[in-house]
Amino acid sequence: MTPMAPTRPNRPTRPASLPQLSLPMSARQCRIPLMADAAAAAAARSVVEDAVRTWRVPVDADVAILLTSELITNAVTHGAPAAGTFVLLTIACDAAGLRVDVHDGSRDLPVLDTGLLDTDSLGNTGLAEAETGRGLLLVTTLSDEWGFYRTPAGKAVYFTLELRREPSSEADADGLT
């Protein structure tokens, strides 16, 4: 039998500067400052993935990671007023769901561009051909709630994902699931 080569990881390795989540199970909130640069989105995706897995949050982790990436990218692109600044990623989980807030230093509030929606001759709605501007549309579509608020240093944009409920054992026995 020949030894197999190790498989490649399906995601990039954790950036060296990213803190490890070592929170007790009872603490379901963390705040992580991230340098407002090109590596911020990857670092934030990793932190959210770790939090969902460590806390065993019953949400779609891929959606949480995607939406976090969109908010961080927007904060770095539009919200970081100067080089060398930080954005703040806050992740919290309670009985209602998962909430992710991204704080930046801009006072400009986000605007959802509904002009990105295109309706064809048959009345079907799709995305227009624009190359940018879909981030908040994704957040609006995939989250259970999203919004923004002003902070002393700028603003924060957030989304929530409701917890998936486990099917009851009676429904499983009846074959209703």
Give the model confidence (pLDDT) of 124-148 as tens digits: 555 445 445 678 999 999 999 999 9
Residue 170 lies in a domain: no
Residue 53 lies in a domain: yes
By residue count, the chain amounts to 177
Q: What is the pTM of this model?
A: 0.72
> Measuring CA to CA, how many Å separate 82 from each of 44, 89, 105, 109, 164?
20, 18, 9, 17, 40
13-17, 84-88, 153-157: the lowest-pLDDT one? 13-17
Write out the E strands in the chain. Answer: 29-35, 86-93, 97-104, 117-119, 125-127, 145-151, 154-162
**What mean pLDDT comes out for the span 146-161?**
96
Among left, alpha and beta (phi > 0; psi -120 to 50; other), residue 175 is left
Q: Which comes out higher in pLDDT, residue 125 or 160?
A: 160
**What mean pLDDT comes out for the span 80-109?**
90
83-87, 92-96, 106-110, 136-140: the lowest-pLDDT one? 83-87
- Alpha-carbon distance of 52 to 91, in angstroms, equals 9
CATH number at residue 39: 3.30.565.10
pLDDT at 10 over 50: no
Q: Under a CB-based contact definition with an 8 Å cutoff, are residues 34 and 43 in contact?
A: yes
Structural domain of residue 153, as residue ranges? 29-164
Chain-centre distance for alpha carbon 140? 12
pLDDT at 57 over 90: yes
pLDDT-based confidence at residue 22 (cuts at 50, 70, 90): very low
Residue 105 lies in a domain: yes
Q: Lay out the sheet containing 145-151: strands in order across.
A: 29-35, 86-93, 97-104, 154-162, 145-151
Residue 104 lies in a domain: yes
- Please tell me the total count of domains within the chain: 1
pLDDT at 6 over 70: no
Q: What is the mean pLDDT of the chain?
A: 79
Residue 5 lies in a domain: no
Residue 109 carries which side chain, given as an amino acid letter?
Answer: L
Residue 14 lies in a domain: no
**Strand pairing partners for 90?**
31, 101
Q: Under a CB-based contact definition with an 8 Å cutoff, are residues 44 and 69 in contact?
A: yes
Question: Of 17, 101, 91, 4, which is closest to residue 48 (Cα–Cα)?
Answer: 91
pLDDT at 165 over 80: yes
